[in-house]
Chain A
């Protein structure tokens, strides 16, 4: 029987799922993803996690619990750093510890350290360590990782064309040739709104309350940080007086500054999770920059497990109306 590896549909799932899936399936394992977020999953997580934790971490607990009993292994790497001289966030550094000591009946944990903070040499060691659990042949592991990197690169290329993660995932699933048909994903909209936030907040339809779809229905084209080229992000983020040591925070600030300078962006929405450490700072830096420039309308939305959909809709509608009135009055 195939070994089943569980991947929670939360946190870095939206960033690295194609890589992880390709790697494990290439090694003959079956990948099981937890169900899409529901109220039940979130509630389970909220009950297990400490009150002070941020929404995405609470949700992660819920997704882990959803996988219990369905898988033999749980893929829960300690993502320390994915880029030189940056970290992800302290909670990611402690995530395997938090899960292990709070959730009962866990399957075998795959909790290698991924740390590219100082150099890249450590990365393949971690990959090999995981691969060894599924294959005794070092070449197979190497080949699986190479295939996984290729798929991941293709995923990232799709994202940079403005295709949203769930669409990009289905393109990858369908096989090749998806680029053309999805190259012009959004047409016939009169507004462009940039949505800035952590991927796991903006692409989880449950906790973001379908924010992207809502904006589209209101006639807006949506742009996200994933569509901004890394070198652009880097260039814009370098305008900060000091390098930001959270790579996701850097991406958010860099892409927000980029959107701020684009004439085709009509409004910026910053989606923050309540209690998120980096968000509290990146949101502040972006908001202050936006206010000084006074050119683009800005909306800061904070979500937590108590957020009501009606409240979000009201604010979105007001924001979109305001942008349209502004356009008419000019």
Chain B
């Protein structure tokens, strides 16, 4: 059994650690590329959302590397993601691929369905071994998120552009290689020291932009055309509304770890704009926008895949929130046709606007 799974930002490092620690053979799909997206688009429904298309591309490329089993998450609606696996299975079947698909999702009838699916992958490993593997994956997720926070702060401030990203790239590889929790902590500490050595202007006041939106396009730099990096290079400190570890805590550990930030507060803040869950991260998008304003951010960028239903609801309401709270927002809708240059132009214009607004606030004339 060679197991593969779809890409979503740095998630592969955690899933790989989880499976390999249990002795499962893993095939990580090649990093998402233009080829991945065109393979996915060619074989997916025309107006399916981008994550679905990228998943299909990942599965096809993993198959070329010999994978025969897919681990996929599922759901119970109303967002389309809950039905991804079923449609993907049909697509792969018609392509003639002999894939076994293991879908981890809330069971329809009984918890044994879910446990059975987990057992299919883990084999007869003891639950102790499973928990140990989960712990390693969790440590990696936390470490990776911390690195990202560093990078977001350093990018706009470093004197030598690109240094933070170089350290970050090396640290990701180190964490990926780490075989135990101790090694993960070691790699993280080493990266922290390297980050600390980077020459940066810590007194500089940077614009702060919050990134909100649909989880896949927020976490996957290839899908959002490196929006974080571009903003950083434009001198903006970025904060994301979704980090991998928070998502894992909330959805896989049922919020068991209480110290980790949760999205409950965001959903509460979405009132009175969106008064009911609309699936996906639609409500969170609005709530986080409100929270970012309260935390003194200068602007918010919403990221959404084209035709994403929950984000369309959020996007419809966002202009009103922007007016009421006096916080500029920019909705970036991406699909397989999105081009980096177009996104860059819009980001530059948005940052210019925020800069002028900030200067006006401080009474500085241009």
The distance from the CB of B298 to the nearest CB of chain A, in whole angstroms, is 23
Contacts A98-B317, A280-B45: A275 and B77 contacting too (C-beta < 8 A)?
A: no
Q: Is the CB of B86 within 8 A of A241?
A: yes
Q: Is the CB of A87 within 8 A of B47?
A: no
Cβ contacts under 8 Å, B47 to chain A: 274-276, 279-280
Contact digits for A61-89, partner B, Cβ 8 Å, 1 yes 0 no: 00000000000000000101000011111
Q: Is the CB of A101 within 8 A of B87?
A: no
B residues 81-125 near A (Cβ < 8 Å) are 82-83, 85-87, 89-91, 94, 103, 108
A residues 274-297 near B (Cβ < 8 Å) are 274-281, 283-285, 288, 291-292
B278 CB-CB contact with A under 8 Å: yes
Q: Is the CB of B48 within 8 A of A93?
A: no
Cβ contacts under 8 Å, A101 to chain B: 273, 316-317, 319-320
The distance from the CB of B110 to the nearest CB of chain A, in whole angstroms, is 14
Q: Is the CB of A242 within 8 A of B276?
A: no
Cβ contacts under 8 Å, B310 to chain A: 90, 94
- Of all chain A residues, the one with the shortest Cβ separation from B78 is A87
B315 CB-CB contact with A under 8 Å: yes
> Measured between alpha carbons, how far is A85 from B106 in the docked complex, in Å?
12
> Measured between alpha carbons, how far is A237 from B307 in the docked complex, in Å?
25
Q: Which of these, A50, A52, A243, A288, contacts B94 with CB under 8 Å? A: A288
Number of interface residues of B (CB under 8 A): 47
> Measured between alpha carbons, how far is A275 from B304 in the docked complex, in Å?
14
Cβ contacts under 8 Å, B74 to chain A: 242
Q: Is the CB of B320 within 8 A of A102?
A: yes
The distance from the CB of B163 to the nearest CB of chain A, in whole angstroms, is 38
Cβ contacts under 8 Å, A98 to chain B: 313, 316-317
Q: Is the CB of B312 within 8 A of A242?
A: no
Contacts A281-B48, A284-B87: A275 and B313 contacting too (C-beta < 8 A)?
A: no
The distance from the CB of B90 to the nearest CB of chain A, in whole angstroms, is 5
- Of all chain B residues, the one with the shortest Cβ separation from A278 is B80
Cβ contacts under 8 Å, B79 to chain A: 90
> Measured between alpha carbons, how far is A274 from B45 in the docked complex, in Å?
11
Contact digits for A130-169, partner B, Cβ 8 Å, 1 yes 0 no: 0000000000000000000000000000000000000000
> Measured between alpha carbons, how far is A86 from B74 in the docked complex, in Å?
15
Contact digits for B53-77, partner A, Cβ 8 Å, 1 yes 0 no: 0000000000000000000001011
Q: How many A-B residue pairs have CB under 8 A?
A: 133
The distance from the CB of B127 to the nearest CB of chain A, in whole angstroms, is 26
> Measured between alpha carbons, how far is A91 from B280 in the docked complex, in Å?
12
A246 CB-CB contact with B under 8 Å: yes
The distance from the CB of A94 to the nearest CB of chain B, in whole angstroms, is 3
> Measured between alpha carbons, how far is A277 from B45 in the docked complex, in Å?
10
A97 CB-CB contact with B under 8 Å: yes
Cβ contacts under 8 Å, A200 to chain B: none
B33 CB-CB contact with A under 8 Å: no
Cβ contacts under 8 Å, B108 to chain A: 242-243
> Measured between alpha carbons, how far is A60 from B108 in the docked complex, in Å?
34
Q: Is the CB of A245 within 8 A of B333?
A: no
B residues 305-340 near A (Cβ < 8 Å) are 306-310, 312-317, 319-320, 333
Q: Which of these, B78, B85, B89, B319, contacts A90 with CB under 8 Å? A: B78
Q: Is the CB of A285 within 8 A of B78?
A: no
A240 CB-CB contact with B under 8 Å: yes
A113 CB-CB contact with B under 8 Å: yes
- Of all chain A residues, the one with the shortest Cβ separation from B94 is A288
Q: Is the CB of B45 within 8 A of A283?
A: yes
Cβ contacts under 8 Å, B307 to chain A: 52, 54, 275, 277, 280
Cβ contacts under 8 Å, A212 to chain B: none
A49 CB-CB contact with B under 8 Å: yes
Q: Is the CB of A245 within 8 A of B76?
A: yes
A127 CB-CB contact with B under 8 Å: no
Cβ contacts under 8 Å, B89 to chain A: 241
B31 CB-CB contact with A under 8 Å: no
- Of all chain A residues, the one with the shortest Cβ separation from B283 is A94
The distance from the CB of B306 to the nearest CB of chain A, in whole angstroms, is 6
Q: Is the CB of B273 within 8 A of A97?
A: yes
Report 9 cross-chain contacts, Cβ distance below 8 Å, ordered by A residue.
A52-B312, A90-B278, A93-B313, A94-B274, A94-B316, A101-B316, A242-B86, A280-B45, A284-B44
Known: A88-B78, A94-B282. 8 other contacts (CB 8 A): A49-B316, A85-B76, A90-B313, A91-B309, A93-B278, A94-B278, A242-B103, A245-B82
Shortest 9 CB-CB distances between A and B: which pairs?
A: A94-B313, A245-B77, A87-B78, A90-B309, A101-B320, A284-B45, A90-B279, A94-B278, A98-B316
B interface residues, Cβ below 8 angstroms from A: 44-49, 74, 76-80, 82-83, 85-87, 89-91, 94, 103, 108, 273-280, 282, 304, 306-310, 312-317, 319-320, 333
